[in-house]
């Protein structure tokens, strides 16, 4: 029987978490749970949650731990399939909350992409908020300009992708990432992948996950 995989993907804003996540979920058939996509979809639907977080997100600030944690824990607990968590945890407190909830993690994929590459990419990002699909006018443009490839609906630019807000988001990331990496390194879960492009990183990540999955399945068979 195929093992259930529970993965976290970490990386700076614009490092390609969403891009690599969509390749992982297609290849390994798992649910993609993205904190940012969930929040943006709530903003678009003008839910109570969306109204609460809209201003914070457009300014590039993190939303409070109690708000985001409740949403994510609920999602994880109702997801029966394998899952990939993108955008959470964002600080040490969120790591501890996952741990306290006894949500076990198999592997943490850590993307390291140079910051100067990121700031350029985000100027050209367009997204489809209902699905979370991500485009880039240079890297993966939509087939029809400003339209989602699947639904034909309009694409938008994220309000937090303006140059000054991106710098603020990168600064928050720099302050928060080390304790998160230390937390998961102490559990021997972190695999770091360094490079300038998603096309370079993807085959490395894919091979690593194939090996990991095969080993996990082999050790589970031995136990049976």
Residues 27, 45: Cα–Cα separation, whole Å: 30
| Residue 132: contacted member of ligand G5P, Mg ion, none (CB under 5 to 8 Å, by partner type) | none
| Residue 110: contacted member of ligand G5P, Mg ion, none (CB under 5 to 8 Å, by partner type) | none
- Is 18 a binding residue for Mg ion by CB under 5 A? The answer is yes
Q: Which is nearer to ligand G5P, 18 or 148 (CB)?
A: 18
For residue 55, give every residue at least 6 positions away whose Cβ sits within 8 Å of its Cβ, in sequence order, or none. Answer: none
- Is 15 a binding residue for ligand G5P by CB under 6 A? The answer is yes
Would you state the structure tokens that stand for residue 24, as one six-digit string? 């992982």
With CB under 5 A as the contact rule, which of the stretches 3-11, 18-26, 44-52, 196-204 interacts with Mg ion?
18-26
For 104-124, the DSSP string reads: --SEEEEEE--HHHHHHHHHT
Task: Just list the catalytic residues.
Answer: 17, 90, 125, 158, 169
Q: Which is nearer to ligand G5P, 92 or 216 (CB)?
A: 92
Q: Which is nearer to ligand G5P, 64 or 185 (CB)?
A: 64
Contact 201, 195 (CB under 8 A): yes
Extended strands (E) in the chain: 6-10, 31-34, 83-86, 107-112, 125-128, 133-136, 190-194
Residues 8, 210: Cα–Cα separation, whole Å: 16
Q: Which is nearer to ligand G5P, 134 or 209 (CB)?
A: 134
Which spans of this chain sit near ligand G5P (rule: CB under 6 A)? 11, 13-19, 35-36, 39, 56-57, 60-63, 68, 87-88, 90, 94, 121-122, 125, 134-136, 138-140, 160, 169, 197-199
Which spans of this chain sit near Mg ion (rule: CB under 5 A)? 17-18
């Amino acid at each position: 029987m195929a093992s259930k995989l529970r993965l976290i993907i970490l990386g700076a804003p614009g490092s390609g978490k969403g891009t690599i996540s969509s390749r992982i979920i297609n290849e390994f058939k798992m649910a993609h749970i993205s904190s940012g996509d969930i929040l943006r979809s709530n903003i678009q639907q003008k839910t109570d949650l969306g109204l609460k977080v809209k201003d914070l997100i457009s300014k590039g600030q993190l939303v409070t731990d109690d708000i985001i944690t409740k949403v994510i824990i609920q999602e994880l607990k109702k997801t029966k399939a394998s899952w990939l968590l993108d955008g959470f945890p964002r600080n040490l407190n969120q790591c501890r909350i996952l741990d306290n909830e006894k949500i076990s993690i198999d592997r943490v994929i850590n993307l390291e992409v140079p910051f100067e590459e990121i700031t350029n990419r985000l100027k050209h990002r367009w997204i489809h908020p209902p699905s979370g699909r991500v485009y880039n006018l240079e890297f993966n443009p939509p087939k029809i300009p400003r339209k989602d490839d699947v639904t034909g609906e309009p694409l938008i630019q994220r309000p937090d992708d303006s140059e000054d807000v991106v710098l603020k988001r990168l600064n928050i990331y720099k302050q928060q990432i080390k304790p998160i990496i230390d937390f998961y390194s102490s559990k021997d879960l972190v695999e770091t992948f360094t490079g300038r492009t998603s096309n370079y990183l993807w085959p490395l990540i894919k091979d690593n996950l194939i090996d990991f999955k095969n080993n996990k399945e082999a050790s589970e068979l031995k136990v049976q």
